[in-house]
């Protein structure tokens, strides 16, 4: 999918845009009030002439462009056993769960500590900057 | 530790002040460089529920061994089971910030009642999965407050409420064994509510106290008695600054001294005390410290004279320490005063007993009493039972010895406000017996 191109073009990070207008270089990003990952179907205000829908064989790609690691971390955020996720970074929440004896999966911690590069999962929880 | 040398009456006899080994355990109440990142209170409730629930799960098999333990969402109708959760008390009269915006403003009484208990209050049990109303006449809502974690045995009714058949509190925590009683008497003096700067403060009265315990008053017997005092605790509300000065308006330079006078006066008195014996000062609701619990120690810059002594220790509120291996735990009164506003008991000592049985020092925080939104711990959980539990700024001096089911024995002390009563409390470390020291400056005896 050409959405890989668009993702590199926008480079949006949630934590810089807590509900405000972002300072990102891309013009269409500055029109949006809420940060959102690019490449999701027919995004409003997108200046890209070719929407990804044309490349997804006619079906809208409704999943945001994040990897399997991010999906696992989102499941970790939503898991009730480890307590509320808002207000803590994912790593802090993992450390808290670990010290409370809840045995969170150890590989999640590796994902969070090794985070680097454009494909890395977000260090903040799913709702950071959105609520 | 400085050893103070007192001169006896006319003869040059030297009386040495006794000493006790002191260990400050306030670290759990100190905010070590925590930065507030906008988190809410859900975390503190989560850690509280998690700790208490694990505790209660370990006690449930001994209490009712054959019943299943469920979460609130897993309740089935007419099936007896046990659920563990945090109590929320719905109170009709509890003041809400939203009342200011209500359309029917006349309904809100202008004079606030001291106690918000109402016969219509009801209890709700809550855990991460959901909440359920507690029905039945076993639990009297006036004895409970929001924020405590209990286990209840009962069954769900057709209305969706949980009919309570029995309830289990955590009970007194385990206690470290008291050291074998020594042969000598050593005393600790507690005082609170000095309120220097208020209209009720009588400088002569406090000066009498200071002179008495530093050994400058009385004959040889009195001085011998005073030399057995090993520690002095001030449990909050040492200063009171005129409310009118604190409303945000700029104060004229000539009035600025009224802000600092009380603290300077306190420093002079603390100087005399610190020169004689170890002094612990705790902040209270009217002291220049942070508002929300745990209150951080009063800044040493406020006491330029007294802080030069290594016997002067500025402590947190709540305050936890050890003297000769006897565990002490105490607050400046906010926890008990808040319980008094939102629940009923026959006296303040009963509130104190309840906080120990619930194993939580300030159950109403953060609901009605401000506290810092910790994310990874709840520092007010009482993990080990103290030997002495004191609360300052109460109306009168009360004390009792509380016995637990597991051989625990706690001396509960309510320290009265010194500015109103002139009473300080003395505790004998040998046998944990308490008596009051009363000072009066009235001319009519």
Q: How many CB atoms neighbour CB A115 within 10 A?
A: 16
* DSSP assigned state of B239: B
Domain that holds residue B91: 42-168
Average of per-residue pLDDT across A17-23: 48
CA distance A102 to A125: 19
Last residue of a domain, one of B137, B168, B199: B168
User: Do B151 and B201 lie in a common domain?
Assistant: no
Q: Are strands B312-314 and B326-331 parallel, antiparallel or unpaired?
A: unpaired
Say whether both B141 and B210 belong to one domain: no
Cβ–Cβ below 8 Å for A84 and B43: yes
Mark whether B23 and B127 lie in a shared domain. Answer: no
Give the residue from B140, B168, B196 where a domain finishes.
B168
A46, B8 contact by CB (below 8 A): no
Residue A90: how many CB atoms within 10 A of its CB?
A: 24
Chain A: nearest CA to B400, how far in angstroms? Answer: 36
Residue of B426, B436, B15 whose CA lies nearest to B223 = B15
pTM listed for this prediction: 0.83
Cα–Cα–Cα angle for B441, B398, B229, rounded to 5 degrees: 65
Partner-chain contact B376 A96, CB within 8 Å: yes
Using the beta-carbon criterion (under 8 Å), do B42 and A100 form an inter-chain contact? no
> Is residue B386 domain-resident?
yes
For residue A128, list chain B residues with Cβ-Cβ distance below 8 A: none
Q: What is the pLDDT of residue B241?
A: 85
With a threshold of 0.90, tell me whether the complex ipTM lies above it.
Answer: no
What is the percent of chain B with per-residue pLDDT over 90, rounded to a whole number? 71
Whether B102 and B236 share a structural domain = no
Name the residue among B47, B129, B375 with its Cβ closest to that of A87: B375
Same domain flag for B245 and B311: yes
Chain A hits for B34, CB-CB cut-off 8 Å, are: none
- Name the residue facing A87 among B37, B47, B129 (closest C-beta): B37
Which of A21-35, B297-311, B420-434 is least confident? Answer: A21-35
For the residues B273-294, what does the mean pLDDT come to?
A: 94
- Do B256 and B111 share a structural domain? no
Give the number of beta-carbon pairs within 8 Å between A and B.
Answer: 36
Tens of pLDDT, residues B214-232: 988 888 888 888 999 999 9
Least confident range of A35-44, B43-52, B165-174, B300-309: A35-44
Whether B10 shows a pLDDT value over 50: the answer reads no
pLDDT at residue B178, rounded to an integer: 85
Question: Is residue B8 located within the same domain as residue B151?
Answer: no
| Residues recorded for chain B | 445
Picking from B120, B146, B168, the residue at the C-terminal end of a domain is B168
The predicted-structure confidence for B96-143, as pLDDT tens digits, reads as follows 777 767 766 555 555 566 788 988 899 999 998 999 999 999 999 999
B382 and B269 inside one domain: yes
Predicted confidence at residue A24, as pLDDT, reads 42
Count of domains observed in chain B: 2
* Long-range interactions of B219-225: CB distance < 8 A, separation 24+: B219/B9, B220/B8, B220/B9, B220/B13, B223/B6, B223/B8, B223/B9, B223/B15, B224/B15
Judge if B16 and B55 occupy the same domain. Answer: no
**B375:A80 CB<8 A:** no
Flag whether pLDDT at A10 surpasses 70.
Answer: no
Q: In this structure, are B133 and B225 located in the same domain? A: no
CATH of the domain at B117: 2.40.50.430
Stated as kind and residue range, the H or E segment containing B90 is strand B81-90
How confident is the model over B145-156, as a mean pLDDT?
Answer: 94
Percent of chain B residues topping a pLDDT of 70: 94
Determine the pLDDT at residue A12. Answer: 60
**Residues facing residue B327 across a β-bridge:** B322
- Please give the DSSP secondary-structure letter assigned to residue B345: -
CATH, residue B426: 3.60.21.50
3-state helix, strand, coil in chain A (%, to 5): 40, 0, 60
- Segment among A7-11, A20-24, A45-49, B378-382 with least mean pLDDT: A20-24
Both B156 and B236 in a single domain? no
Residues β-bridged to residue B155: B163
B173 assigned to some structural domain: no
Asked if A19 is an interface residue toward chain B (Cβ–Cβ < 8 A), one would say no
For residue B2, is pLDDT > 50?
no
In this structure, the answer to whether residues B312 and B407 fall within a common structural domain is: yes
A residues 74-93 lying closer than 8 A (beta carbon) to B: 80, 83-84, 86-88, 92
| Every domain of chain A and the residues it spans | 68-115
b/e burial code for range B140-149 (CB count within 10 A of at least 16 → b): ebbebbbbbb
pLDDT band at B3 (very low <50, low <70, confident <90, very high): very low
């Amino acid at each position: 999918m050409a959405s890989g191109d668009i993702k590199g073009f926008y480079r949006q990070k949630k934590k810089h845009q807590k509900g405000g207008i972002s300072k990102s270089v891309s013009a269409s990003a500055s029109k949006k009030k809420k940060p959102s990952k690019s490449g999701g179907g027919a995004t409003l205000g997108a200046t890209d002439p070719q929407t990804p829908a044309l490349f997804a064989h006619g079906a809208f790609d409704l999943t945001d462009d994040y990897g399997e690691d991010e999906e696992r971390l989102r499941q970790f955020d939503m898991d009730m056993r480890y307590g509320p996720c808002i207000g803590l970074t994912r790593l802090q929440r993992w450390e808290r769960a670990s010290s409370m004896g809840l045995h969170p999966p150890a590989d999640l911690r590796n994902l969070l500590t090794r985070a680097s590069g454009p494909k890395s999962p977000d260090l903040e929880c799913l709702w950071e900057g959105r609520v | 530790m400085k050893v103070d040398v007192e001169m006896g009456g006319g003869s040059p006899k030297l009386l040495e002040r006794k000493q006790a080994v002191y260990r400050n355990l306030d670290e759990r109440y100190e905010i070590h460089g925590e930065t507030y990142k906008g988190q809410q209170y859900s975390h503190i409730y989560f850690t509280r529920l998690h700790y208490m629930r694990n505790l209660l799960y370990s006690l449930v098999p001994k209490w009712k061994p054959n019943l299943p333990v469920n979460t609130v969402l897993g309740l089935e109708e007419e099936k007896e089971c046990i659920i563990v959760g945090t109590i929320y008390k719905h109170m009709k009269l509890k003041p809400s910030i939203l009342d200011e915006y209500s359309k029917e403003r006349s309904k809100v009484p202008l004079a606030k009642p001291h106690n918000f208990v109402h016969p219509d209050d009801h209890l709700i049990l809550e855990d991460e999965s959901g909440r359920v109303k507690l029905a039945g006449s076993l639990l009297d809502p006036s004895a409970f407050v929001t924020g405590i974690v209990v286990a209840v045995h009962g069954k769900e009714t057709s209305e969706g409420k949980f009919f309570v058949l029995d309830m289990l509190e955590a009970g007194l925590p385990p206690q470290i064994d008291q050291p074998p009683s020594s042969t000598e008497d050593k005393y600790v003096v507690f005082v609170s509510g000095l309120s220097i700067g208020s209209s009720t403060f009588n400088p002569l009265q406090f000066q009498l106290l200071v002179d008495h315990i530093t050994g400058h008053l009385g004959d040889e017997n009195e001085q011998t008695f005073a030399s057995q005092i090993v520690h002095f605790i001030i449990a909050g509300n040492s200063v009171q600054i005129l409310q009118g000065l604190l409303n945000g308006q700029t104060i004229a330079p000539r009035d600025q001294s009224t802000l600092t006078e009380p603290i300077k006066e306190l420093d002079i008195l603390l100087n005399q005390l610190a020169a004689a014996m170890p002094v612990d000062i705790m902040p209270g609701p009217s002291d220049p410290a942070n508002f929300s619990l745990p209150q951080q120690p009063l800044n040493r810059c406020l006491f330029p004279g007294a802080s030069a002594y290594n016997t002067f220790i500025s402590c947190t509120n709540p305050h936890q320490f050890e003297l000769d291996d006897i565990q002490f735990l105490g607050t400046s009164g906010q926890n008990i005063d808040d319980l008094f506003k939102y629940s009923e008991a026959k006296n303040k000592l009963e509130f104190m007993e309840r906080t120990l049985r619930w194993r939580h020092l300030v159950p109403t925080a953060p609901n009605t009493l401000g506290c810092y939104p910790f994310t990874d711990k709840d520092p007010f959980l009482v993990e080990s039972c103290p030997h002495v539990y004191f609360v300052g700024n109460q109306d009168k001096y009360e004390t009792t010895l509380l016995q637990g089911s597991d051989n625990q024995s706690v001396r509960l002390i309510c320290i009265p406000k010194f500015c109103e009563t002139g009473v300080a409390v003395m505790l004998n470390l040998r046998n944990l017996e308490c008596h009051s020291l009363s000072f009066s400056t009235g001319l009519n005896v």
